[in-house]
Amino acid sequence: MRKQAGHSSFKQLLAEGKPQVGTFVKIFSAEIIELLGMAGFDFIVIDMEHTTLSFTQVEQMVRVADLHSMSSMVRIPDASRSSVLRALDLGATGIQVPQLLDEGEVMDVVDKAKYPPDGTRGVTYAHRAAGFGHTPKNYLAQANVQTTIAIHIETESAYEKVDAICQTAGVDIAFIGPVDLGISLGKGPDYLQGELALPVRRILEVCQKRGVQAGIAVANEEQYRFAIENKIPYIVWSSDVALFKTAVDGVAKITALRENM
């Protein structure tokens, strides 16, 4: 893990094959994001899909990430125009979109995320992403280039159509969600030794063929090494909740020894 260097955009770092390590953030806490930044995480994925986080809270979380030189992806709750627009207007680096089924739905998301002439994103300069009116003249074009779009490959339909999805203009990352994908395919979540290994390998091959960066969720050193060895640059290590659970479970295990003291 390392901080972004110079003026390189998050998308550029990924395209250069420089591994970027993040984690899902589910808890509304400036302190947690600061701790992640101080620890050296490259980015966070603010999770609106599986939490009750509001866009007002997300905006504050993005601000804290910015202060610690971390990029901020928002896993939006759905693919609606409102969700795409709000996540990008508040200044996030990009969006991570779950539960899409085919290239048509993916094209629709890209269209909503890009300003004209590349898409139909509504324009205003009175928001955080545009500096609240302190807006560079090239803002629209720059936003279209730098906005990062990650698409989950986690349904059976998306897996079957992953080649078409990765050929969709504007898709930057095909993110492998092992738990959902494993359940959808009936193969379980183990992509190292289990039945999910072959589908994951296929997704990686398609990404390489189509010039799309791969992303994957990891939860331990072995999975992290797999990501590095397979040149997966977008690596999401667990979540703030899971990291905290691991820590407190460890403490509870130690303190349970008092019964034998």
pLDDT tens digits, one per residue of 175-200? 999 999 999 999 999 999 999 999 99
Predicted confidence at residue 5, as pLDDT, reads 42
Question: Could you give the CA distance from residue 25 to residue 32 in angstroms, rounded to a whole number?
Answer: 8
Predicted confidence at residue 208, as pLDDT, reads 97
Residues of the chain predicted below pLDDT 50: 4-7
Parallel/antiparallel/unpaired status of strands 173-176 and 43-47: unpaired
Question: Could you give the CA distance from residue 135 to residue 115 in angstroms, rounded to a whole number?
Answer: 15
Note the pTM of the prediction, 2 decimals. 0.94
Predicted confidence at residue 6, as pLDDT, reads 41
Handedness of CA 155, 159, 164, 168 (dihedral sign): positive
Predicted confidence at residue 256, as pLDDT, reads 86
Predicted confidence at residue 1, as pLDDT, reads 65
CATH of domain 10-260: 3.20.20.60
Question: Could you give the CA distance from residue 18 to residue 16 in angstroms, rounded to a whole number?
Answer: 6
- Rounding to the nearest 10 degrees, give the CA dihedral for residues 216, 26, 109, 211: -20
Predicted confidence at residue 181, as pLDDT, reads 97
Predicted confidence at residue 258, as pLDDT, reads 74
Question: Could you give the CA distance from residue 194 to residue 192 in angstroms, rounded to a whole number?
Answer: 6
Q: Per residue in 43-78, pLDDT tens?
A: 999 999 999 999 999 999 999 999 999 999 999 999
Under 8 Å between Cβ of 127 and 183: no
Under 8 Å between Cβ of 74 and 80: no
**126, β-bridge pairs:** none
Handedness of CA 218, 221, 227, 228 (dihedral sign): positive
